[in-house]
A and B are shown apart, each in its own frame.
Chain A
Amino acid sequence: MGEFNVHRVRFFNYVPSGIRCVAYNNQSNRLAVSRTDGTVEIYNLSANYFQEKFFPGHESRATEALCWAKGQRLFSAGLNGEIIEYDLQALTIKYAVDAFGGPIWSMAASPSGSQLLVGCEDGSVKLFQITPDKIQFERNFDRQKSRILSLSWHPAGTHVAAGSIDYISVFDSKSGSAIGKMLVDRQYMGVSKRKCIIWGVAFLSDGTVISVDSAGKVQIWDSATGTLVKNHLVSNADVQSIAVSAQEDSFVVGTAEGTVFHFQLVSVTSSSSEKQWVRTKPFQHHTHDVRAVAHSPTALISGGTDTHLVIRPLMEKVEVKNYDAALRKITFPHRRLVSCAKKKQLLLFQFAHHLELWRLGSTVATGKNGDTLPLSKNADHLLHLKTKGPENIICSCISPCGGWIACSTASRFFLYRLNYEHDNISLQRVSKMPVFLRSALQILFSEDSTKLFVASNQGSLRVFRLLEGGFTHLHSFQPQSGTVQSMCLLAVSPDGNWLAASGTSAGVHVYNVKQLKLHCTVPAYNFPVTALAIAPNTNNLVIAHSDQQVFEYSIPDKQYTEWSRTVQKQGFHHLWLQRDTPITHISFHPKRPMHILLHDTYMFCLIDKSLPLPNDKTLLYNPLPPTNESDVIRRRTAHAFKISKKYKPLLFVDLLDEKTLVAVERPLDDIIAQLPPPIKKKKFGT
Chain B
Amino acid sequence: MADLEEGFTLTAVPLGSGPDGPLGVEQSDKTDQFLVTDSGRTVILYKVSDQKPLGSWSVKQGQIITCPAVCNFQTGEYIVVHDNKVLRIWNNEDVNLDKVFKATLSAEVYRIHSIQGTEPLVLFKEGAVRGLEALLAEPQQKIETVISDEEVIKWTKFFMVFRHPVLIFITEKHGNYFAYVQKFNSRILSKYTLLLGQEEKCVIQSFSTSVGRKFISLMSLTSDGCVYETLIPIHPSEPEKNQRLVQSQLLKSVVSGSARSGAALSILDQDHVAVLGAPRPASKECLSVWNTKFQTLQTSKELPQGTSGQLWYYGENLFMLHGKFLTVIPYKCEVSSLAGALGKLKHSQDPGTHVTPHFVNWETSQGCELGSQNSEQSKRILRRRKIQVSVQPEVPASTQLLATIQKDSEKHIEVELRKFLATKRTPDFHTIIGDVVIGLLGRCKAEPSFYPRNCLMQLVQTHVLSYSLCPGLMEVALEKTDVQILQLCLQQLPDVPESVTCACLKLFLSIGDDTLQDADINMESVSDYMDPVQDGEMEEQTTFLQNGFNPEEDNCDSCAQKLKEKPQAAADESTSCPLTPKRAALLNAILCSAYSETFLLPHLKDIPAQHSTLFLQYLYFLYLKCSENATMTLPGTHPPTLNQIMDWICLLLDANFTVVVMIPEAKRLLLSLYKFVKSQISICSELNKIEVSFRELQKLNQEKNNRELYSIEVLELF
Q: Which residues of A sit under 8 angstroms from B372, Cβ to Cβ?
A: 270
A375 at the interface (CB under 8 A from B): yes
Q: Which residues of B sit under 8 angstroms from A578, Cβ to Cβ?
A: 352
B362 at the interface (CB under 8 A from A): yes
* CB–CB B432/A6 < 8 A: no
B679 at the interface (CB under 8 A from A): no
Q: Which residues of B sit under 8 angstroms from A683, Cβ to Cβ?
A: 687-688, 691
Q: List 29 A-B contacts (CB under 8 A).
A: A1-B717, A4-B716, A4-B717, A6-B713, A10-B709, A190-B598, A264-B362, A270-B369, A271-B431, A280-B362, A281-B360, A315-B356, A315-B359, A321-B356, A361-B712, A363-B712, A373-B711, A373-B712, A574-B351, A616-B350, A622-B718, A624-B716, A642-B717, A644-B717, A669-B706, A670-B706, A683-B687, A685-B681, A685-B688
Q: Which residues of B sit under 8 angstroms from A642, Cβ to Cβ?
A: 717-718
Q: Which residues of A sit under 8 angstroms from B711, Cβ to Cβ?
A: 8, 372-373, 375
* CB–CB A7/B717 < 8 A: no
* CB–CB B715/A646 < 8 A: yes
Give A379 to B716 CA distance when docked, in angstroms: 23
Per-residue CB contact flags for chain B residues 675-703 toward chain A (1 = under 8 Å, else 0) read: 00000110111011001000000000010
- Which residue of B has the minimal Cβ distance to A323? B354
Given A267-B366, A270-B432, A575-B352, answer yes or no on A3-B598 (Cβ-Cβ < 8 Å): no
Q: Which 3 A-B pairs have the closest CB atoms?
A: A685-B684, A270-B431, A574-B352
- Which residue of B has the minimal Cβ distance to A12? B709
Distance of A525 from chain B, by nearest CB (Å): 22
Give A1 to B717 CA distance when docked, in angstroms: 6
Give A684 to B680 CA distance when docked, in angstroms: 11
Give A26 to B598 CA distance when docked, in angstroms: 42
Q: Which residues of A sit under 8 angstroms from B354, Cβ to Cβ?
A: 321-323, 325-326
Give A59 to B115 CA distance when docked, in angstroms: 88
Given A6-B714, A11-B709, A270-B432, answer yes or no on A616-B684 (Cβ-Cβ < 8 Å): no
Q: What would 4 more interface pairs be, CB under 8 Å, given A321-B353, A371-B714, A616-B350? A: A278-B362, A323-B352, A683-B691, A684-B691
* CB–CB B710/A316 < 8 A: no
Per-residue CB contact flags for chain B residues 359-397 toward chain A (1 = under 8 Å, else 0) read: 111110110110010000000000000000000000000
B434 at the interface (CB under 8 A from A): yes
Per-residue CB contact flags for chain B residues 454-494 toward chain A (1 = under 8 Å, else 0) read: 00000000000000110000000000000000000000000
Distance of A281 from chain B, by nearest CB (Å): 8
- Which residue of A has the minimal Cβ distance to B431? A270
B428 at the interface (CB under 8 A from A): yes
Q: Which residues of B sit under 8 angstroms from A622, Cβ to Cβ?
A: 718
* CB–CB A269/B434 < 8 A: yes
* B binding-site residues for A, Cβ under 8 Å: 350-357, 359-363, 365-366, 368-369, 372, 428, 431-432, 434-435, 468-469, 598, 680-681, 683-685, 687-688, 691, 702, 706, 708-718
Taking a contact as CB atoms closer than 8 A, the residue among B361, B369, B431, B688 that contacts A684 in the complex is B688
Q: Which residues of A sit under 8 angstroms from B361, Cβ to Cβ?
A: 315-316
Taking a contact as CB atoms closer than 8 A, the residue among A8, A9, A673, A684 that contacts B687 in the complex is A684
Q: Which residues of B sit under 8 angstroms from A264, Cβ to Cβ?
A: 362-363
Q: Which residues of A sit under 8 angstroms from B706, Cβ to Cβ?
A: 10, 667, 669-670
**Secondary structure of the A side of the interface?**
loop
Give A390 to B479 CA distance when docked, in angstroms: 74
Give A6 to B713 CA distance when docked, in angstroms: 5
Q: Which residues of A sit under 8 angstroms from B681, Cβ to Cβ?
A: 685
A266 at the interface (CB under 8 A from B): yes
Q: Which residues of B sit under 8 angstroms from A574, Cβ to Cβ?
A: 350-352
* CB–CB B715/A4 < 8 A: yes
Q: Which residues of A sit under 8 angstroms from B713, Cβ to Cβ?
A: 5-6, 8, 370-373
* CB–CB A266/B365 < 8 A: yes
A429 at the interface (CB under 8 A from B): no
Most buried by A among B363, B598, B684, B691: B363
Distance of B375 from chain A, by nearest CB (Å): 12
Cβ < 8 Å to B, chain A residues 234-285: 264, 266-271, 278, 280-281
Give A575 to B353 CA distance when docked, in angstroms: 11
Distance of B707 from chain A, by nearest CB (Å): 10
Give A367 to B715 CA distance when docked, in angstroms: 10
A368 at the interface (CB under 8 A from B): yes
Q: Which residues of A sit under 8 angstroms from B432, Cβ to Cβ?
A: 270
Give A571 to B546 CA distance when docked, in angstroms: 67
- Which residue of B has the minimal Cβ distance to A624? B718
* CB–CB B359/A316 < 8 A: yes
For the complex, count residues of A whose C-beta is within 8 A of B: 68
Cβ < 8 Å to B, chain A residues 300-334: 315-316, 321-323, 325-326
A33 at the interface (CB under 8 A from B): no
* CB–CB B718/A370 < 8 A: no
Given A270-B431, A270-B432, A616-B352, answer yes or no on A368-B687 (Cβ-Cβ < 8 Å): no
* A binding-site residues for B, Cβ under 8 Å: 1-11, 189-190, 264, 266-271, 278, 280-281, 315-316, 321-323, 325-326, 360-363, 366-373, 375, 378-379, 574-575, 578, 606, 616-617, 622, 624-625, 634, 638, 642, 644, 646, 661, 667, 669-670, 673, 682-685
Q: Which residues of A sit under 8 angstroms from B362, Cβ to Cβ?
A: 264, 266, 278, 280-281, 316
Q: Which residues of B sit under 8 angstroms from A315, Cβ to Cβ?
A: 356-357, 359, 361
* CB–CB A268/B468 < 8 A: yes
Q: Which residues of A sit under 8 angstroms from B688, Cβ to Cβ?
A: 682-685
* CB–CB B365/A270 < 8 A: yes
Give A319 to B179 CA distance when docked, in angstroms: 54
* CB–CB A6/B712 < 8 A: yes
Give A667 to B708 CA distance when docked, in angstroms: 12
- Which residue of A has the minimal Cβ distance to B366? A267
* CB–CB B431/A269 < 8 A: yes
* CB–CB A189/B598 < 8 A: yes
Q: Which residues of B sit under 8 angstroms from A644, Cβ to Cβ?
A: 715, 717
* CB–CB A625/B718 < 8 A: yes
* CB–CB A369/B714 < 8 A: yes
Q: Which residues of A sit under 8 angstroms from B714, Cβ to Cβ?
A: 3-6, 366-371, 373
Q: Which residues of A sit under 8 angstroms from B683, Cβ to Cβ?
A: 685
Distance of A8 from chain B, by nearest CB (Å): 5
Give A375 to B713 CA distance when docked, in angstroms: 10
Taking a contact as CB atoms closer than 8 A, the residue among A9, A325, A369, A682 that contacts B356 in the complex is A325
* CB–CB A270/B435 < 8 A: yes
Q: Which residues of B sit under 8 angstroms from A367, Cβ to Cβ?
A: 714
Give A190 to B710 CA distance when docked, in angstroms: 54
Q: Which residues of A sit under 8 angstroms from B356, Cβ to Cβ?
A: 315, 321, 325
Most buried by A among B372, B714, B716: B714
Distance of B85 from chain A, by nearest CB (Å): 64
Give A315 to B350 CA distance when docked, in angstroms: 21
Distance of A628 from chain B, by nearest CB (Å): 14
* CB–CB A11/B710 < 8 A: yes
Taking a contact as CB atoms closer than 8 A, the residue among A322, A379, A638 that contacts B718 in the complex is A638
Give A326 to B365 CA distance when docked, in angstroms: 25
Q: Which residues of A sit under 8 angstroms from B680, Cβ to Cβ?
A: 685
* CB–CB A661/B369 < 8 A: no
* CB–CB B435/A269 < 8 A: yes
Distance of A273 from chain B, by nearest CB (Å): 9
- Which residue of B has the minimal Cβ distance to A661? B715
Given A315-B356, A684-B688, answer yes or no on A361-B710 (Cβ-Cβ < 8 Å): yes
Give A21 to B523 CA distance when docked, in angstroms: 56
Q: Which residues of B sit under 8 angstroms from A370, Cβ to Cβ?
A: 713-715
Give A216 to B504 CA distance when docked, in angstroms: 31
Distance of A324 from chain B, by nearest CB (Å): 11
Given A2-B716, A268-B468, answer yes or no on A10-B351 (Cβ-Cβ < 8 Å): no
- Which residue of A has the minimal Cβ distance to B707? A10
Taking a contact as CB atoms closer than 8 A, the residue among B357, B368, B691, B712 that contacts A8 in the complex is B712
Give A667 to B702 CA distance when docked, in angstroms: 11
Given A4-B715, A5-B712, A644-B715, answer yes or no on A316-B691 (Cβ-Cβ < 8 Å): no
Q: Which residues of B sit under 8 angstroms from A638, Cβ to Cβ?
A: 718
* CB–CB A375/B687 < 8 A: no
Q: Which residues of A sit under 8 angstroms from B598, Cβ to Cβ?
A: 189-190
* CB–CB B685/A685 < 8 A: yes
